[in-house]
Amino acid sequence: MQLGKNSLIILGVLFTLSCSRSSNKPPVVVSENKYCYLTSPDIPGKQYLSEKFLTTIANIQTNPTKKESLEGMVYLKGGNFAMGADTPAQHNTMQATALPQNDEFPKHQVMVSGFYMDTHEVTVGEFEEFVKATNYITVAEMDINWEELKKQLPEGTPKPLEEDLKAGSLIFNYIEETVAKNNQESWWTFQKGISWRNPNGLHPSLETIKNNPVTHVSWYDALAYAKWVGKRLPTEAEYEYAMRGGANNTMYPWGNEKLDTLQYRGNFFQGKFPYRNTSEDGYERVAPVMSFSANGYGLYDISGNVWEWTMDWYSAKYYTDLQNNTITNNPQGPDQTYEVYNTNAIHKVVRGGSFLCNDSWCSGYRNARRMRLSPDSGMEHLGFRLVRDIN
Protein backbone atom coordinates (compact mmCIF):
# COMPACT_ATOMS: atom_id res chain seq x y z
CA MET A 1 0.00 0.00 0.00
CA GLN A 2 3.01 2.19 0.15
CA LEU A 3 2.28 4.24 -2.94
CA GLY A 4 1.14 7.80 -2.39
CA LYS A 5 0.55 10.34 -5.12
CA ASN A 6 4.14 11.48 -4.99
CA SER A 7 5.36 7.90 -4.77
CA LEU A 8 3.29 7.03 -7.82
CA ILE A 9 4.92 9.80 -9.79
CA ILE A 10 8.39 8.58 -8.93
CA LEU A 11 7.39 4.91 -9.31
CA GLY A 12 8.33 4.30 -5.68
CA VAL A 13 7.31 0.70 -5.20
CA LEU A 14 8.35 -0.15 -1.64
CA PHE A 15 7.77 -3.57 -0.18
CA THR A 16 9.95 -6.12 1.57
CA LEU A 17 13.08 -4.37 2.80
CA SER A 18 16.28 -5.92 4.09
CA CYS A 19 18.45 -4.52 6.84
CA SER A 20 21.81 -5.41 8.34
CA ARG A 21 22.39 -6.15 12.01
CA SER A 22 24.80 -4.07 13.99
CA SER A 23 27.67 -5.52 16.01
CA ASN A 24 27.09 -6.55 19.61
CA LYS A 25 27.47 -3.83 22.23
CA PRO A 26 27.04 -3.79 26.02
CA PRO A 27 23.37 -3.51 27.06
CA VAL A 28 22.20 -0.01 27.92
CA VAL A 29 18.98 1.57 29.10
CA VAL A 30 17.71 4.43 26.97
CA SER A 31 16.44 7.33 29.07
CA GLU A 32 12.83 8.38 28.60
CA ASN A 33 12.36 10.69 25.64
CA LYS A 34 9.21 12.76 26.06
CA TYR A 35 7.05 13.29 23.04
CA CYS A 36 7.93 16.36 20.99
CA TYR A 37 4.97 18.36 19.75
CA LEU A 38 4.88 19.82 16.28
CA THR A 39 5.42 23.34 17.54
CA SER A 40 8.66 22.34 19.27
CA PRO A 41 11.91 23.22 17.51
CA ASP A 42 13.23 19.85 18.70
CA ILE A 43 10.81 17.72 16.69
CA PRO A 44 12.84 14.81 15.23
CA GLY A 45 13.67 15.31 11.56
CA LYS A 46 11.91 18.66 11.32
CA GLN A 47 14.34 19.66 8.56
CA TYR A 48 12.70 17.07 6.29
CA LEU A 49 9.24 18.55 6.70
CA SER A 50 7.48 21.28 4.72
CA GLU A 51 7.71 24.68 6.41
CA LYS A 52 4.58 25.72 4.53
CA PHE A 53 2.48 23.00 6.13
CA LEU A 54 4.11 23.37 9.54
CA THR A 55 3.32 27.07 9.57
CA THR A 56 -0.31 26.39 8.68
CA ILE A 57 -0.60 23.89 11.52
CA ALA A 58 1.12 26.17 14.02
CA ASN A 59 -1.47 28.87 13.28
CA ILE A 60 -4.43 26.62 14.10
CA GLN A 61 -6.05 27.54 17.41
CA THR A 62 -6.79 24.64 19.73
CA ASN A 63 -10.46 24.33 20.66
CA PRO A 64 -10.50 24.58 24.50
CA THR A 65 -13.57 22.37 24.86
CA LYS A 66 -12.09 19.64 22.68
CA LYS A 67 -8.79 19.88 24.52
CA GLU A 68 -10.42 19.04 27.86
CA SER A 69 -12.63 16.22 26.58
CA LEU A 70 -11.80 12.51 26.89
CA GLU A 71 -15.03 11.46 25.20
CA GLY A 72 -14.51 8.58 22.82
CA MET A 73 -11.11 7.66 24.29
CA VAL A 74 -9.89 4.74 26.39
CA TYR A 75 -7.01 4.74 28.86
CA LEU A 76 -4.10 2.38 28.25
CA LYS A 77 -2.12 1.88 31.42
CA GLY A 78 1.18 1.43 29.63
CA GLY A 79 3.95 -1.01 30.44
CA ASN A 80 6.65 -3.18 28.91
CA PHE A 81 6.18 -5.33 25.83
CA ALA A 82 8.17 -7.18 23.20
CA MET A 83 7.92 -5.15 19.99
CA GLY A 84 8.46 -6.72 16.59
CA ALA A 85 7.89 -9.87 14.57
CA ASP A 86 5.97 -12.92 15.81
CA THR A 87 5.72 -16.22 13.93
CA PRO A 88 3.87 -18.93 15.88
CA ALA A 89 4.98 -22.45 14.98
CA GLN A 90 1.70 -23.29 13.26
CA HIS A 91 2.11 -20.31 10.92
CA ASN A 92 5.62 -20.85 9.59
CA THR A 93 4.40 -22.59 6.44
CA MET A 94 2.33 -19.61 5.32
CA GLN A 95 3.33 -17.71 2.20
CA ALA A 96 6.09 -15.16 2.64
CA THR A 97 3.81 -12.14 2.24
CA ALA A 98 1.77 -13.29 5.25
CA LEU A 99 4.82 -13.62 7.50
CA PRO A 100 7.06 -11.05 9.22
CA GLN A 101 9.16 -8.86 6.95
CA ASN A 102 12.81 -7.96 7.45
CA ASP A 103 12.12 -4.55 8.96
CA GLU A 104 10.12 -6.16 11.80
CA PHE A 105 13.29 -7.73 13.22
CA PRO A 106 14.83 -7.98 15.71
CA LYS A 107 12.17 -8.21 18.39
CA HIS A 108 13.11 -5.86 21.23
CA GLN A 109 11.87 -4.74 24.63
CA VAL A 110 9.98 -1.45 24.84
CA MET A 111 8.28 0.47 27.64
CA VAL A 112 5.47 2.92 26.92
CA SER A 113 3.93 5.27 29.47
CA GLY A 114 0.18 5.33 29.99
CA PHE A 115 -1.89 7.29 27.47
CA TYR A 116 -5.43 7.78 26.19
CA MET A 117 -6.34 6.64 22.67
CA ASP A 118 -9.34 7.24 20.43
CA THR A 119 -11.57 4.17 20.39
CA HIS A 120 -11.90 4.44 16.62
CA GLU A 121 -10.48 6.32 13.65
CA VAL A 122 -11.35 9.99 13.19
CA THR A 123 -14.53 10.05 11.12
CA VAL A 124 -15.65 12.13 8.15
CA GLY A 125 -18.16 13.85 10.41
CA GLU A 126 -15.53 14.79 12.98
CA PHE A 127 -13.15 16.04 10.31
CA GLU A 128 -15.93 18.08 8.71
CA GLU A 129 -16.50 19.83 12.04
CA PHE A 130 -12.80 20.73 12.13
CA VAL A 131 -12.81 22.07 8.57
CA LYS A 132 -15.89 24.21 9.22
CA ALA A 133 -14.28 25.68 12.34
CA THR A 134 -10.87 26.43 10.79
CA ASN A 135 -11.41 26.63 6.99
CA TYR A 136 -8.58 24.12 6.70
CA ILE A 137 -7.66 22.85 3.22
CA THR A 138 -6.15 19.36 2.99
CA VAL A 139 -3.10 18.52 0.92
CA ALA A 140 -5.23 16.48 -1.52
CA GLU A 141 -7.21 19.64 -2.26
CA MET A 142 -4.06 21.52 -3.33
CA ASP A 143 -2.09 21.27 -6.55
CA ILE A 144 1.29 19.55 -6.09
CA ASN A 145 4.30 21.81 -5.68
CA TRP A 146 6.91 20.47 -8.11
CA GLU A 147 9.75 22.30 -6.36
CA GLU A 148 8.98 20.38 -3.15
CA LEU A 149 8.37 17.06 -4.88
CA LYS A 150 11.63 17.00 -6.84
CA LYS A 151 13.63 17.15 -3.61
CA GLN A 152 12.61 13.51 -3.08
CA LEU A 153 13.62 12.46 -6.59
CA PRO A 154 16.94 11.54 -8.19
CA GLU A 155 18.63 14.55 -9.78
CA GLY A 156 17.53 15.06 -13.37
CA THR A 157 14.07 13.50 -12.99
CA PRO A 158 11.86 15.19 -15.60
CA LYS A 159 8.96 17.28 -14.43
CA PRO A 160 5.56 15.56 -14.88
CA LEU A 161 2.86 17.08 -17.02
CA GLU A 162 1.01 19.96 -15.35
CA GLU A 163 -2.13 17.83 -15.55
CA ASP A 164 -0.47 15.25 -13.28
CA LEU A 165 0.26 17.88 -10.65
CA LYS A 166 -3.37 18.95 -10.16
CA ALA A 167 -5.18 18.42 -6.86
CA GLY A 168 -6.43 14.90 -6.24
CA SER A 169 -5.58 11.60 -4.63
CA LEU A 170 -5.20 7.86 -5.23
CA ILE A 171 -8.07 5.40 -5.47
CA PHE A 172 -8.02 1.63 -5.84
CA ASN A 173 -9.20 -0.20 -8.98
CA TYR A 174 -9.53 -3.92 -9.63
CA ILE A 175 -7.44 -5.30 -12.48
CA GLU A 176 -7.83 -8.21 -14.86
CA GLU A 177 -6.28 -11.50 -13.73
CA THR A 178 -4.09 -11.44 -16.82
CA VAL A 179 -2.30 -8.38 -15.41
CA ALA A 180 0.59 -8.89 -12.99
CA LYS A 181 -0.20 -7.43 -9.57
CA ASN A 182 3.39 -6.52 -8.71
CA ASN A 183 3.05 -3.24 -10.60
CA GLN A 184 1.04 -1.09 -8.21
CA GLU A 185 0.48 1.52 -10.90
CA SER A 186 -1.98 -0.90 -12.48
CA TRP A 187 -4.31 -0.90 -9.49
CA TRP A 188 -3.74 2.55 -8.00
CA THR A 189 -5.06 5.46 -10.04
CA PHE A 190 -4.53 9.14 -9.35
CA GLN A 191 -7.80 10.97 -9.91
CA LYS A 192 -8.40 14.69 -9.84
CA GLY A 193 -11.06 15.92 -7.45
CA ILE A 194 -10.61 13.08 -4.96
CA SER A 195 -10.33 14.18 -1.33
CA TRP A 196 -11.86 13.52 2.07
CA ARG A 197 -15.06 15.13 0.76
CA ASN A 198 -15.19 12.85 -2.29
CA PRO A 199 -13.33 9.69 -1.27
CA ASN A 200 -14.58 7.39 -4.03
CA GLY A 201 -15.17 9.79 -6.91
CA LEU A 202 -18.95 9.40 -6.66
CA HIS A 203 -19.51 12.69 -4.78
CA PRO A 204 -21.47 11.15 -1.90
CA SER A 205 -23.38 13.32 0.55
CA LEU A 206 -21.21 13.81 3.62
CA GLU A 207 -24.21 12.86 5.74
CA THR A 208 -24.17 9.36 4.22
CA ILE A 209 -20.49 8.78 5.00
CA LYS A 210 -20.12 10.77 8.24
CA ASN A 211 -19.43 7.62 10.29
CA ASN A 212 -16.77 6.34 7.90
CA PRO A 213 -13.13 6.97 8.77
CA VAL A 214 -11.88 10.09 7.06
CA THR A 215 -9.49 9.16 4.24
CA HIS A 216 -7.26 10.90 1.67
CA VAL A 217 -5.67 12.76 4.57
CA SER A 218 -1.95 13.39 4.67
CA TRP A 219 0.25 13.23 7.76
CA TYR A 220 0.13 17.03 7.86
CA ASP A 221 -3.68 16.97 7.74
CA ALA A 222 -3.74 14.54 10.65
CA LEU A 223 -1.49 16.82 12.70
CA ALA A 224 -3.59 19.84 11.84
CA TYR A 225 -6.69 18.11 13.20
CA ALA A 226 -4.70 16.97 16.24
CA LYS A 227 -3.69 20.55 16.97
CA TRP A 228 -7.33 21.64 16.89
CA VAL A 229 -8.53 18.97 19.35
CA GLY A 230 -5.45 19.17 21.59
CA LYS A 231 -4.28 15.62 20.96
CA ARG A 232 -1.40 14.06 19.06
CA LEU A 233 -0.56 11.19 16.73
CA PRO A 234 0.59 7.98 18.42
CA THR A 235 4.17 6.85 18.19
CA GLU A 236 4.78 3.62 16.31
CA ALA A 237 5.51 1.87 19.62
CA GLU A 238 2.27 3.13 21.17
CA TYR A 239 0.30 1.93 18.17
CA GLU A 240 1.73 -1.59 18.32
CA TYR A 241 1.24 -1.70 22.08
CA ALA A 242 -2.41 -0.68 21.58
CA MET A 243 -2.89 -3.12 18.71
CA ARG A 244 -1.70 -6.06 20.82
CA GLY A 245 -4.52 -5.39 23.29
CA GLY A 246 -2.64 -6.61 26.34
CA ALA A 247 -1.34 -9.87 24.85
CA ASN A 248 2.35 -10.44 24.19
CA ASN A 249 4.02 -12.40 21.39
CA THR A 250 0.86 -12.90 19.33
CA MET A 251 0.69 -12.44 15.57
CA TYR A 252 -2.70 -10.70 15.43
CA PRO A 253 -4.77 -8.46 17.75
CA TRP A 254 -7.11 -11.39 18.37
CA GLY A 255 -4.33 -13.92 19.11
CA ASN A 256 -2.69 -16.52 16.89
CA GLU A 257 -5.68 -17.93 15.04
CA LYS A 258 -5.21 -17.68 11.30
CA LEU A 259 -7.38 -15.19 9.49
CA ASP A 260 -9.32 -17.86 7.61
CA THR A 261 -10.18 -19.87 10.73
CA LEU A 262 -12.38 -17.40 12.56
CA GLN A 263 -15.29 -15.07 12.25
CA TYR A 264 -14.51 -11.70 10.77
CA ARG A 265 -12.43 -9.62 13.15
CA GLY A 266 -11.97 -6.62 10.89
CA ASN A 267 -12.46 -5.14 7.45
CA PHE A 268 -10.02 -7.00 5.21
CA PHE A 269 -9.87 -8.17 1.60
CA GLN A 270 -11.49 -11.55 0.87
CA GLY A 271 -10.95 -13.13 -2.50
CA LYS A 272 -8.07 -12.93 -4.94
CA PHE A 273 -6.17 -9.66 -4.52
CA PRO A 274 -6.26 -7.30 -6.44
CA TYR A 275 -8.61 -8.93 -8.91
CA ARG A 276 -11.86 -9.50 -7.03
CA ASN A 277 -13.15 -8.96 -3.51
CA THR A 278 -15.90 -11.33 -2.41
CA SER A 279 -16.77 -8.93 0.45
CA GLU A 280 -17.60 -11.81 2.77
CA ASP A 281 -17.06 -9.54 5.78
CA GLY A 282 -19.88 -7.32 4.53
CA TYR A 283 -17.78 -4.49 3.11
CA GLU A 284 -16.10 -4.13 -0.23
CA ARG A 285 -14.20 -1.01 0.76
CA VAL A 286 -14.21 1.20 3.84
CA ALA A 287 -16.64 0.34 6.65
CA PRO A 288 -18.27 2.66 9.20
CA VAL A 289 -16.21 2.83 12.39
CA MET A 290 -17.00 0.24 15.07
CA SER A 291 -18.48 -2.22 12.55
CA PHE A 292 -16.40 -5.04 14.06
CA SER A 293 -15.57 -6.12 17.60
CA ALA A 294 -13.04 -4.19 19.66
CA ASN A 295 -9.70 -5.66 20.74
CA GLY A 296 -8.61 -6.35 24.31
CA TYR A 297 -8.21 -2.65 25.06
CA GLY A 298 -11.61 -1.68 23.67
CA LEU A 299 -10.18 -0.26 20.43
CA TYR A 300 -12.14 -0.63 17.21
CA ASP A 301 -10.60 -1.03 13.75
CA ILE A 302 -7.10 -1.01 15.23
CA SER A 303 -6.54 -3.72 12.62
CA GLY A 304 -8.04 -3.28 9.16
CA ASN A 305 -10.43 -0.76 7.59
CA VAL A 306 -7.80 1.96 6.97
CA TRP A 307 -4.08 2.31 7.58
CA GLU A 308 -3.32 4.89 10.27
CA TRP A 309 -0.61 7.53 10.49
CA THR A 310 1.89 7.51 13.35
CA MET A 311 4.29 10.25 14.39
CA ASP A 312 7.48 8.30 13.62
CA TRP A 313 9.80 8.53 10.69
CA TYR A 314 10.22 5.17 8.97
CA SER A 315 13.60 3.45 9.03
CA ALA A 316 14.23 -0.07 7.78
CA LYS A 317 17.05 -0.48 10.31
CA TYR A 318 15.56 1.22 13.35
CA TYR A 319 14.90 -2.01 15.24
CA THR A 320 18.46 -3.09 14.57
CA ASP A 321 19.67 0.16 16.10
CA LEU A 322 17.65 -0.61 19.26
CA GLN A 323 18.38 -4.31 19.62
CA ASN A 324 21.20 -4.01 22.18
CA ASN A 325 19.20 -1.86 24.59
CA THR A 326 17.99 -3.67 27.70
CA ILE A 327 14.76 -1.75 27.24
CA THR A 328 13.82 1.34 25.25
CA ASN A 329 11.56 3.81 27.03
CA ASN A 330 8.91 5.56 24.94
CA PRO A 331 10.78 5.34 21.61
CA GLN A 332 10.11 8.27 19.28
CA GLY A 333 11.47 6.69 16.12
CA PRO A 334 14.64 7.63 14.24
CA ASP A 335 15.74 11.20 13.56
CA GLN A 336 15.38 10.67 9.84
CA THR A 337 13.87 8.25 7.37
CA TYR A 338 15.88 5.38 5.88
CA GLU A 339 14.92 3.23 2.92
CA VAL A 340 17.10 0.45 1.52
CA TYR A 341 16.24 0.99 -2.14
CA ASN A 342 15.45 4.70 -2.29
CA THR A 343 17.78 7.03 -0.42
CA ASN A 344 15.71 10.04 -1.52
CA ALA A 345 12.53 8.77 0.15
CA ILE A 346 10.95 10.73 3.00
CA HIS A 347 8.48 8.48 4.79
CA LYS A 348 6.38 8.32 7.94
CA VAL A 349 5.19 5.03 9.45
CA VAL A 350 1.60 3.88 8.98
CA ARG A 351 0.15 0.99 10.95
CA GLY A 352 -2.84 -1.33 11.27
CA GLY A 353 -3.67 -2.50 7.76
CA SER A 354 -6.74 -1.73 5.67
CA PHE A 355 -9.65 -3.13 3.71
CA LEU A 356 -7.16 -4.05 0.99
CA CYS A 357 -4.99 -6.28 3.17
CA ASN A 358 -4.72 -9.91 2.16
CA ASP A 359 -2.13 -12.59 2.96
CA SER A 360 -1.21 -12.82 -0.71
CA TRP A 361 0.05 -9.23 -0.75
CA CYS A 362 0.08 -7.37 2.55
CA SER A 363 -0.74 -8.83 5.95
CA GLY A 364 -1.21 -5.41 7.51
CA TYR A 365 -3.52 -6.81 10.18
CA ARG A 366 -0.52 -8.37 11.94
CA ASN A 367 0.55 -6.59 15.13
CA ALA A 368 4.12 -5.97 13.98
CA ARG A 369 3.47 -5.08 10.33
CA ARG A 370 5.11 -1.79 9.31
CA MET A 371 4.34 0.31 6.24
CA ARG A 372 5.29 3.83 5.22
CA LEU A 373 4.24 6.74 3.08
CA SER A 374 5.33 10.25 2.19
CA PRO A 375 3.86 12.68 4.78
CA ASP A 376 2.25 14.80 2.05
CA SER A 377 0.35 11.89 0.49
CA GLY A 378 -3.14 10.55 1.05
CA MET A 379 -4.98 7.48 -0.20
CA GLU A 380 -8.40 5.83 -0.25
CA HIS A 381 -7.47 3.44 2.56
CA LEU A 382 -5.48 5.78 4.80
CA GLY A 383 -6.75 7.60 7.90
CA PHE A 384 -5.74 8.18 11.52
CA ARG A 385 -6.69 8.16 15.19
CA LEU A 386 -5.18 10.21 17.99
CA VAL A 387 -3.85 9.85 21.52
CA ARG A 388 -3.47 12.12 24.53
CA ASP A 389 -0.96 12.12 27.37
CA ILE A 390 -2.01 11.94 31.00
CA ASN A 391 -2.26 15.44 32.46
Per the confidence metrics, is the pTM higher than 0.85? yes
Percent of the chain with pLDDT over 70: 88
What is the tens place of the pLDDT at every residue in 309-368? Answer: 999 999 999 999 998 889 999 999 999 999 998 888 899 999 999 999 999 998 999 999
Provide mean pLDDT across the span 89-94. 88
What is the tens place of the pLDDT at every residue in 5-63? Answer: 444 443 332 222 222 222 222 222 332 333 333 444 457 788 889 889 999 999 999 99
Residue 354 CA to residue 363 CA, distance in Å, equals 9
Q: H or E stretch including 148? A: helix 146-149
Neighbouring residues of 341: CB distance < 8 A, sequence distance ≥ 6:
14, 17
Query: In the CATH scheme, what is the code of domain 5-389?
Result: 3.90.1580.10
- Residue 106 has, within 13 A of its CA and on its CB side, a CA count of 12
CA dihedral 199, 200, 203, 206 (to 10 degrees): -40
Query: Residue 186 above 70 pLDDT?
Result: yes
Provide mean pLDDT across the span 220-237. 97
pLDDT value of residue 360: 92
pLDDT value of residue 11: 30
pLDDT value of residue 262: 65
Sequence spans of domains, the chain: 5-389
Provide mean pLDDT across the span 222-251. 97
pLDDT value of residue 341: 84
What is the tens place of the pLDDT at every residue in 127-160? Answer: 999 999 999 999 999 988 888 778 777 888 888 8
